[in-house]
Amino acid sequence: MKINVIGGGPAGLYFAILMKKANPAHQIRIYERNGPDDTFGWGVVFSGKTLANLRAADDVSHAEITKQFEAWDNVDVVHREEKISIHGNSFSGIARLKLLKILQRRAEQLGVEVNFHAEIHDVEALRNDCDLLLAADGVNSMVRLRYAGQFQPELDSRANRYIWYGTHQLFHGLTLTFRENSAGVFAAHSYKFSPTTSTFIVECDPQTWTRSGFEQMSSEETLDYVGDVFAQDLNGHKLLSNNSKWINFLLVKNRRWFFENVVLIGDALHTAHFSIGSGTKLAIEDAIALAESVQQTASVSEALTHFEKTRRPVIEDYQAAAFESMRWFENAGQYMHLSPIELAYVLMTRSGRVSNEDLKRRDSEFIRRYDRRDSF
């Protein structure tokens, strides 16, 4: 089978690995516009369950990935000078660049042709030259745009702004920090992903953003302003920029997932708000589901039908949970009157996927403390 892949992110690389592993005779080419060492952002997180899926799909890359991991089991909520820790949540963090390097190496070892600095403009030519064209070209997918009439995308640019920084302050656990100043409320999502660095994503509503005056600020002024808001949490460390800019989260859905021999995957197909930290997980698990569909069916058309049929309910479920979580952060200002323990509780249950019983199982001491809150 001849497969062309646009995009050498987690989705494109992982699909290529699984297909080549299943049948070395497949001819697979990846076209990636960036170089092998370019990336945006800092770290990504995986849950324990995702790691088990990665091990089952490809134990070689799984072993490499887990060697580089920073693991933790606590979510920390910081509000009004108090930190509440909730244990029993298994997560690991890895630098996005490290993850990509591992997947690039594995793909090349297996004989996948990875072409860097190869930006695709003529999708039609590429699709006519293969049995299957995988559009793994990310959230602003040009393939989705080129065939918008076929895919019928639904794009929803959300009002909140966020910016993705790093820092050498180490946050041991997924840390959600809330700080207020005269402009409004800022939320930071942070976690350590290497022995020296943490991801530090800051989010605020549009009113807070405007009142802060970010529109007129340079990148350095923005970095200093945000650093001041979280000065107590950063403990003297600076925020680190990776060409970081304020962005609006783009919620992506598509009425149709494929047509003829073209299929969308990963962020090109769907997004889920970063507050549930699962974009890379979903991209990789799409790749696993699609590779399985190809192996279980006799033609590309059957494979793509099977992929959409089995994967769509899983994605819709995730997007529903992520939507609740995103809405919570969009309305974070409404919850600032809560005590730290109450805020931690509503945060943990915000997506509707974690119940009181789940929390009791994960961290009974946290629930005991929450239940006793009125007696203080």
Binding residues for ligand FAD (CB under 6 A): 6-12, 31-34, 41, 44-45, 119-120, 136-138, 142, 162, 164, 201, 266-267, 274, 277-281, 283
Can you tell me the distance from the alpha carbon of 164 to that of 178, in angstroms, rounded to the nearest whole number?
16
Can you tell me the distance from the alpha carbon of 233 to that of 340, in angstroms, rounded to the nearest whole number?
16
Pick 222 or 370: Cβ nearer ligand FAD: 222
User: Shortest Cβ distance from residue 365 to ligand FAD (Å)?
Assistant: 27
Pick 6 or 112: Cβ nearer ligand FAD: 6
Pick 258 or 274: Cβ nearer ligand FAD: 274
Can you tell me the distance from the alpha carbon of 262 to that of 264, in angstroms, rounded to the nearest whole number?
7
User: Shortest Cβ distance from residue 52 to ligand FAD (Å)?
Assistant: 16
Pick 92 or 208: Cβ nearer ligand FAD: 92
Helix (H) or strand (E) holding 161: strand 153-167
Can you tell me the distance from the alpha carbon of 337 to that of 172, in angstroms, rounded to the nearest whole number?
26
Can you tell me the distance from the alpha carbon of 193 to that of 206, in angstroms, rounded to the nearest whole number?
29
User: Shortest Cβ distance from residue 273 to ligand FAD (Å)?
Assistant: 9
Can you tell me the distance from the alpha carbon of 44 to that of 35, in angstroms, rounded to the nearest whole number?
20
Three-state SS at 188: strand
Pick 134 or 294: Cβ nearer ligand FAD: 134
User: Shortest Cβ distance from residue 310 to ligand FAD (Å)?
Assistant: 19
User: Shortest Cβ distance from residue 115 to ligand FAD (Å)?
Assistant: 9
Can you tell me the distance from the alpha carbon of 219 to that of 163, in angstroms, rounded to the nearest whole number?
11
- Give one word for 111, left, alpha or beta, with left for phi > 0 and alpha for psi -120 to 50: left
User: Shortest Cβ distance from residue 337 to ligand FAD (Å)?
Assistant: 27
User: Shortest Cβ distance from residue 290 to ligand FAD (Å)?
Assistant: 12
What is the DSSP annotation of 88-126? ---EEEEEHHHHHHHHHHHHHHHT-EEESS-----HHHH
Pick 82 or 119: Cβ nearer ligand FAD: 119
Pick 77 or 188: Cβ nearer ligand FAD: 188
CA distances from 86 to 93, 193, 288, 351, 365 (A): 18, 19, 31, 16, 9
